[in-house]
Amino acid sequence: MRRRGDNLLARSADVYFTEDVHPAYDRILDQLSSDEARILRFMALNGPQPSVDVRTNRPLGIGSELVAGDLTSVPEQAGVRYPDRSRLYLINLSRLGLLTTSDDPVVLSRYMVLEVQPIVETALKQAGRVPKIVRKSLRLSEFGEDFCKTCFTINPA
Q: If the chain, 157 residues long, is cut into consecutive pieces of 10 residues, what is the mean pLDDT of each piece?
A: 71 65 89 97 96 86 85 96 96 97 93 93 90 95 96 80
pLDDT at 14: 63
Q: How far apart are CA 44 and CA 136, in angstroms?
A: 18
pLDDT for position 4: 72
> Of 49, 142, 40, 135, whose CA–CA distance to 93 is shortest?
40
pLDDT of residue 25: 92
User: What Cα–Cα distance (Å) separates residue 60 from each residue in 64, 121, 130, 134?
Assistant: 9, 24, 13, 15
Contacts of 19 (CB under 8 A, 6+ apart): none
Domain layout of the chain by residue ranges: 25-151
Q: Which residues of 111-141 are buried (b: 16+ CB within 10 A; e: fewer)?
A: beebbeeebbeebbeebeeebbbebbbbbbb
What would the pLDDT profile of 119-150 be if each residue is shown by its tens digit?
999 999 998 888 999 999 999 999 999 999 99
CATH class, domain 25-151, is alpha beta
Closest to 34 measured CA to CA, from 84, 102, 80 = 80
Exposed / middle / buried, residue 98 (Cβ in 10 Å: 0-12, 13-18, 19+)? buried
Report pTM.
0.83
Phi, psi of 87, deg, nearest 5: -60, -40
Q: How far apart are the first and last CA of the chain?
A: 46
pLDDT of residue 61: 62
